[in-house]
């Protein structure tokens, strides 16, 4: 899709020469660096002291060389004293270096912690639509690679720039004291440094951004293929060679960008080194002639040459400072891209807790369309850069849905696939926001309730329940962290799964594997039911909880469900009508509308879609 009406660009391209946002440095200081200003000041002092001490050895060398060449009566004493001075300077400089390293590492690690915590918290609160569109590997890359890059921008770049400035100032000052004419000569090459840095800078910044994006894409491939579902799909279709070739192509692009970055950077610094060598040669040429004429002493020439080296190295780095700053702050820019994503579903001002919920659910003229990609995602987290996300919302999915589920009632939702049944249940838990109308729990609009209290009042068992790669006990305790072992066992007995767990060699301490793949489908469902029972919600949503089970597993799960649903309001999505014939109310959904409602017997007698579904499923047995 080309940019235009109904579409917005989210993300950046390395080719477009985009500048970093204005005020980025101020924002970094305000939101992240300010809490560490005390230690940053200490770091600045340590860096300044260590950098200033760098030029002292050159000044201490001067009297040593003069004593050796002139051989005055106290030459040996002079050499000894200044040699010991060199060693003393080294000891002091080492102390400042250790102090500087401690402060830098402390600030850096704390910054990484702050960034990761903020990013993780922000991403966790994003709506479900965000996760349905985002590449997991690209998102993980932001929390790892870009966070570390941002930390280096603050501590590494900040420290390096400070050290270079102090070292240049002290070295040039000492050079002026030794010989002002030579100093002006050595500074005459400065324009060459500036021109080189300006020409190379933008190219290095673009290569850095491109490398970050390509690494994120490669992480996405690994994340998708190395989880159990992805690995199983690859094996079932016999595609390991093709997968390797695809990954190799992605890794090759990363390698190519790395080579280009290395060559550009190396050519830049080689050229700067040649310019510096030219200045050093000029010092020996002119300074040597001045020494031969008696205008300078030999030690002064040697000391000046050493100072030139001490000045040129940080001077070269300072001319490249804009490049380093822009490149380093690309990471902060990418981190802020995530932090600046709007959270459309959040606690409203004045939101209240749902206290002692009874479980009444009301849909009042609810219509719904899925949010636009631009409002729920970021292009650089989907398919890389140069993507355009549509700003128009999706087509309507629900139309004027109205019903009431009284406390303790079981309301079943039936209908063809894609009719909108799962969407209806998603609005109860506020995974999505209604487009119009209202969803109420115990008379409260869900938008006026705190998300935490709403989540605690509703339990969900899906057709493919998710289990973390942890023990059975910890997976169950996720529903209620403070649950005792006795309460966990009671929930598992009610869910008809305790005997299975007890028969395992490690019992409740058995690892379930990624996504629970070490458990059968029926065992996972019963564990999910036990988890919901432990949560003790007022409302239970069952989304095809028995859709893919064999007959024996289905019987056990149905027994567990009878316990789980007792005394609770339940919304049950089912394709097998045999599981919902005793529901208090059955809603037939088609095309996003409720086209029929009533009990099983009423709907069979009334004819229509429900009767057709019933006859299709039970004609053979009848």
Residue 201 is predicted with a pLDDT of 63
- Contact assessment for residue 534 and residue 483, using Cβ atoms and an 8 Å cutoff: yes
User: Which region among 66-75, 100-109, 223-232, 253-262 has the lowest average model confidence (pLDDT)?
Assistant: 223-232
Examine the domain organization and report whether 396 and 290 are in the same domain: no
Mean pLDDT of 311-337: 74
Mean pLDDT computed over every residue of the chain: 81
pLDDT of residue 382: 75
CB neighbourhood size of 445 (10 A)? 14
For the record, the structure tokens of 347 come out as 């606690």
pLDDT in tens, 10-23: 444 333 345 566 77
Assessment of whether the complete model's pTM goes beyond 0.75:
no
Is the confidence at residue 375, as pLDDT, over 90? no
Q: Which of 211-220, 361-370, 390-399 has the lowest mean pLDDT?
A: 211-220
Per-position DSSP letters for 502-553, written without gaps between them: HHSTTGGG-B--GGGTTS-HHHHHHHHHHHHHHH--SEEEEESTTTT--HHH
Does some domain include residue 524?
A: no
Nearest to 201 by CA among 315, 331, 319: 319
pLDDT classification of 489: cutoffs 50, 70, 90: very high
Do 47 and 196 belong to one domain? yes
Confidence category of residue 547, pLDDT binned at 50, 70, 90: low
Q: Contact at 8 Å (CB) between 556 and 493?
A: no
* Rounded-to-integer distance, Cα 59 and Cα 486, Å: 77
Strand-pairing partners, residue 444, are 441
Q: What is the pLDDT of residue 17?
A: 43
- Is residue 161 located within the same domain as residue 58? yes
Length of the chain: 622
What is the average per-residue pLDDT within 32-61? Answer: 84
- DSSP letters along 389-447, please? EE-SPPPEEEEEEEEEE-TT-EEEEE-STTSSHHHHHHHHTTSS--SEEEEEETTEEGG
Cα separation values, 162 from 98, 102, 197, 540, Å: 17, 17, 18, 60
- The whole-number pLDDT of residue 20 equals 63
Give the C-alpha separation, 410 to 226, whole Å. 40
219 and 327 part of one domain? yes
d(CA 617, CA 331): 57
CB 316 within 8 A of CB 272: yes
If one counts every other C-beta atom within 10 angstroms of the C-beta of residue 188, the result is 11
Asked whether the beta carbons of 587 and 412 are under 8 A apart, the reply is yes
DSSP conformational letter for 471 = B
Give a yes or no: residue 272 inside a domain. yes
Report the half-sphere exposure of 59 (CA within 13 A, side-chain side). Answer: 17
At 446, the pLDDT band (50, 70, 90 cuts) reads: very high
Q: What percent of the chain lies above the pLDDT cut of 90?
A: 20
On whether both 130 and 182 belong to a single domain, the answer is yes
Rg (CA), the chain: 35
Q: What is the pLDDT of residues 559-617, one digit of tens each?
A: 777 777 888 899 999 877 877 888 899 999 999 999 999 999 999 999 888 888 888 87
Phi, psi (5° rounding) for residue 201? -55, -55
Q: At what angle do helices 321-339 and 158-178 cross, to 10 degrees?
A: 160
Angle at alpha carbon of residue 607, lines to 606 and 611, rounded to 5°: 115
In the block, tokens 């024996």 appear at 552
Q: Do 290 and 333 sit in the same domain of this protein?
A: yes
Give, as one character, the DSSP assignment of residue 352: B
Backbone angles phi, psi at 342, to 5 degrees: -70, 140
What residues have CB less than 8 Å from 351, skipping those under 6 apart? 448, 449, 450
What's the pLDDT score for residue 219? 74
**In the structure, what pLDDT confidence band is assigned to residue 44 with cuts at 50, 70 and 90?**
confident
582: in domain: yes
| CATH code where residue 380 lies | 3.40.50.300
- Considering the domain architecture, whether residues 393 and 542 belong to the same structural domain is answered as yes
- The more confidently predicted of residues 209 and 334 is 334
Q: Is the domain of 154 the same as that of 299?
A: yes
- Whether residue 490 lies inside any domain: the answer is no
Q: What pLDDT, on a 0 to 100 scale, did the predictor assign at position 11?
A: 41
Asked whether the predicted pLDDT for residue 551 surpasses 70, the reply is: no
Nearest to 57 by CA among 94, 82, 81: 82
Judge whether 525 lies within some domain.
no
- Which token pair is 380? 């650089």
Is residue 361 scored above 60 in pLDDT? yes
Q: Is residue 12 part of a domain?
A: no
Query: CA-CA distance, 459 to 531, in Å (whole number)?
Result: 9
Rounded Cα distance, 92 and 90, in Å: 6
Residues 301 and 369 in one domain: no
Output b/e per residue, 477-488; b: 16+ Cβ within 10 A.
bebbeebeeebb
Place of tokens 């000569």: 185
The DSSP-derived string for 187-214 is HTTHHHHHHHHHHHHHHHHHHHHHHHHH
Answer with the one of 287, 306, 339 that is the final residue of a domain.
339
Residue 311 and residue 377 in one domain = no
* Res 449 pLDDT > 90: yes
Q: Which domain holds residue 374?
A: 361-465+534-618
What pLDDT shows up at residue 275? 72
Residue 434 banded pLDDT, cuts 50, 70, 90:
very high
Is residue 503 exposed (0-12), middle (13-18) or buried (19+ Cβ within 10 Å)? exposed
CATH of the domain at 301: 1.20.1560.10
Given pLDDT bands bounded at 50, 70 and 90, which one contains residue 430?
very high
What is the per-residue pLDDT for 117? 86
Residue 463: which of 519, 379, 525 has the closest Cα? Answer: 525
**What does the pLDDT read at residue 2?**
35
Asked if residue 187 is part of any domain, the answer here is: yes
- What 8-state DSSP symbol labels residue 620? T
Helix or strand run (H / E) with residue 236:
helix 228-236
Top mean pLDDT of 30-44, 207-221, 584-598 is at: 584-598
Among 339, 370, 398, the domain-final residue is 339
Same domain (yes/no): 209, 162: yes
Look up residue 383 and give its DSSP letter. T
Domain count, the chain: 2
CB 592, CB 427: distance < 8 Å:
no
Q: Pick the last residue of a domain from 339, 374, 394.
A: 339
DSSP output for 364-376: EEEEEEPPPHHHH
Residues 240 and 190 in one domain: yes
Whether 437 contacts 367, CB under 8 Å: yes
Percentage, residues of the chain above pLDDT 70:
87
Distances in Å between the Cα of 234 and the Cα atoms of 79, 433, 517 are: 74, 36, 16
Closest CA to 437 of 411, 392, 398: 398
């Amino acid at each position: 899709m080309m940019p235009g009406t109904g579409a917005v660009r989210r993300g950046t391209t390395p080719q477009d020469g985009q500048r970093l946002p204005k005020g980025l440095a101020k924002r970094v200081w305000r939101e992240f660096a300010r809490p560490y200003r005390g230690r940053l000041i200490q770091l600045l002092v340590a860096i300044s002291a260590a950098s200033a001490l760098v030029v002292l050895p050159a000044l201490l060398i001067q009297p040593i060389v003069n004593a050796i060449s002139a051989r005055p009566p106290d030459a040996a004493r002079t050499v000894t004293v200044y040699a010991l001075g060199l060693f003393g300077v080294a000891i002091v400089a080492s102390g400042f270096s250790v102090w500087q390293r401690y402060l830098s590492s402390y600030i850096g690690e704390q910054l990484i912690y702050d960034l990761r915590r903020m990013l993780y918290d922000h991403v966790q609160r994003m709506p479900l639509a965000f996760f349905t569109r985002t590449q997991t590997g690209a998102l993980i890359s932001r929390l790892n690679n870009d966070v570390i890059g941002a930390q280096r921008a603050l501590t590494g770049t900040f420290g390096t720039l400070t050290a270079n400035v102090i070292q240049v100032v002290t070295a040039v000052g000492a050079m002026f004291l030794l010989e002002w004419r030579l100093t002006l000569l050595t500074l005459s090459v400065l324009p060459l440094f500036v021109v080189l840095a300006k020409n190379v800078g933008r190219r290095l910044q673009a290569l850095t951004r491109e490398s970050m994006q390509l690494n994120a894409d490669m992480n996405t491939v690994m994340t998708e293929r190395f989880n159990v579902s992805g690995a199983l799909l690859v094996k079932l279709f016999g595609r390991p060679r093709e997968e390797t070739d695809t990954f190799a192509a992605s890794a090759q692009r990363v390698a190519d960008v790395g080579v280009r970055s290395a060559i550009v950077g190396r050519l830049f610094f080689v050229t700067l080194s040649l310019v510096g060598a030219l200045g050093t040669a000029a010092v020996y040429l002119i300074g040597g002639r001045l020494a031969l004429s008696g205008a300078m002493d030999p030690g002064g020439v040697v000391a000046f040459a050493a100072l030139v080296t001490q000045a040129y190295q940080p001077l070269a780095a300072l001319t490249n400072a804009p490049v380093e700053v822009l490149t380093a702050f690309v990471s902060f820019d990418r981190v802020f891209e995530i932090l600046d994503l709007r959270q459309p579903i959040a606690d409203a001002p004045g939101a209240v807790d749902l206290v002692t919920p009874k479980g009444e659910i009301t849909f009042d003229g609810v219509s719904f369309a899925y949010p636009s990609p631009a409002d729920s995602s970021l292009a650089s987290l989907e398919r890389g850069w140069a993507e355009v996300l549509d700003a128009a919302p999706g087509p309507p999915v629900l139309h004027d849905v109205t019903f009431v589920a009284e406390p303790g009632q079981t309301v079943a939702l039936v209908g063809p696939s894609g009719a909108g049944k799962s969407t209806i249940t998603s609005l109860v838990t506020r995974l999505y926001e209604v487009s119009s109308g209202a969803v109420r729990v115990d008379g409260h609009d869900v938008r006026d309730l705190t998300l935490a209290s709403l989540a605690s009042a509703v339990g969900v068992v899906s057709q493919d329940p998710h289990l973390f790669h942890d023990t059975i006990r910890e997976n169950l305790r996720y529903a209620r962290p403070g649950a005792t072992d006795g309460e966990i066992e009671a929930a598992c007995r009610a869910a008809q799964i305790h005997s299975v767990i007890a028969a395992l060699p490690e019992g409740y301490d058995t690892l379930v594997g990624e996504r629970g793949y070490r458990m059968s489908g029926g065992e996972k469902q019963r564990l999910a039911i036990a988890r919901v029972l432990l949560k003790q919600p007022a409302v239970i949503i069952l989304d095809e909880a028995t859709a893919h089970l064999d007959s024996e597993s289905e019987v056990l799960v149905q027994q567990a469900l009878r316990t789980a649903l007792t005394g609770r309001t339940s919304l049950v999505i089912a394709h097998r009508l045999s599981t919902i014939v005793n529901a208090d109310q059955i809603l037939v959904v088609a095309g996003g509308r409720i086209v029929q409602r009533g009990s099983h017997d009423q709907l069979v007698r009334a004819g229509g879609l429900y009767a057709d579904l019933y006859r299709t499923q039970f004609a053979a047995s009848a």
